Structures are given as C-alpha cells and as structure tokens.
C-alpha cells in the first residue's frame, strides 16, 4: 500500500530538494500534483528524510525580520542631511517628507552590524523625538530646530 506525502503547501524549491533526496537515497517514488507517493516499506526512511530536508531548508532561509533590511548608512545619511536642513529651515516641506521616510525606517530597523545598542538607541530616540515634533501641529520652530540640531549632533560622527 502506498504512502502519500502532501507537498502542496511547501515553499517553492523544497519539493525539488525532497525529490533529489529520494533519488540520492534510491527510494522509489512517484511524483504527482502536490504529492509524492512512496511504498509503505520506505515510510520510516522517508519520514526521517522529510524531517532532514525540511530542517535543512528552514536553516537556510533568511528570517522574515532580516529580509530587505534597509542599508544603515543610507538611512543615517538621509537622517543627517534632513536634520541639517530642518535645523536651518524647520518648515522645509521636502525635508520633512524625506525625514519622515528615514525616521520611519530607523524606528523599525534592528541594531545594524557594526553598531551596539548604546550607539544605536540615541539615533532612534532622536529620530522619534523630531518625528513626533514634526507631526504635532503646535510644535514651535525653535523646538524643531533644537531637536534637529540634537539629532544632527548624534549622527555627525557616524556619517
């Protein structure tokens, strides 16, 4: 009696890796639409092979929270340039938009390679503080200039 393995919900490429492993182990199989069929005598070996192949696959995958991470230097440069512009022109609309984009990125980023928490956190805190001031309708130009200057000072040695 055959044993059927449903592979329909496997990620692209994993089924091919499984088939290659079956071939390497010389296990007779039949590939169907979203399923692989093997003989009942091979079930234990194939179960172990499924565990091995899927574990190796998962180890190779980049965690979702690490995918498409923005380049830290680009984000820091953008924060520095826009903080400088806001320090000299707190109502500069283009600088506000560009700063908003960079601040949104920096808030969601993990501590980048080459930074430690003690260096990174003041950047995040300064970005959030300036971002919050820019979002408030009643923020004074002086407060924006001060926050932009503070952030620029934190960033200056890094860019």
- Rounded Cα distance between 11 and 70, Å, is 25
Per cent of the chain over pLDDT 70 is: 96
**3-state secondary structure at position 2:** strand
Mean pLDDT, the chain, whole residue set: 91
Q: How much is the pLDDT for 141?
A: 93
Q: How much is the pLDDT for 159?
A: 84
Q: Which residues have a Cβ under 8 Å from the Cβ of 48 and sit 6 or more positions away?
A: none
pLDDT at 67 over 60: no
pLDDT band for position 1 (50/70/90)? confident
- For residue 9, CA distances in Å to 22, 33, 34, 60 come to 19, 12, 8, 18
Q: How much is the pLDDT for 106?
A: 93
pLDDT band for position 53 (50/70/90)? very high
Residue 86 near residue 92, CB atoms below 8 Å: yes
Q: How much is the pLDDT for 68?
A: 64
- Rounded Cα distance between 7 and 50, Å, is 10
- Rounded Cα distance between 136 and 125, Å, is 17
Other CB atoms within a 10 A radius of the CB of residue 53 amount to 19
Q: How much is the pLDDT for 62?
A: 65
């Amino acid at each position: 009696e055959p044993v059927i393995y449903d592979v329909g919900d496997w990620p692209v490429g994993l089924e091919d890796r499984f088939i290659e492993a079956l071939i390497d182990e010389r296990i007779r199989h039949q590939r169907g639409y979203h399923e692989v069929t093997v003989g009942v005598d091979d079930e234990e070996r194939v179960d172990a092979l499924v565990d091995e192949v899927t574990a190796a696959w998962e180890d190779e995958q980049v965690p979702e929270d690490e995918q498409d991470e923005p380049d830290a230097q680009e984000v820091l440069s953008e924060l520095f340039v826009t903080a400088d512009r806001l320090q000299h022109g707190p109502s500069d609309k283009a600088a506000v938009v560009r700063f908003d984009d960079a601040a949104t990125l920096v808030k969601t980023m993990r501590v980048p390679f080459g930074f430690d928490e003690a260096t990174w956190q003041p950047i995040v805190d300064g970005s959030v503080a300036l971002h919050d001031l820019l979002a408030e309708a009643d923020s004074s130009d002086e407060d924006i200039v001060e926050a932009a200057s503070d952030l620029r000072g934190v960033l200056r040695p890094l860019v």
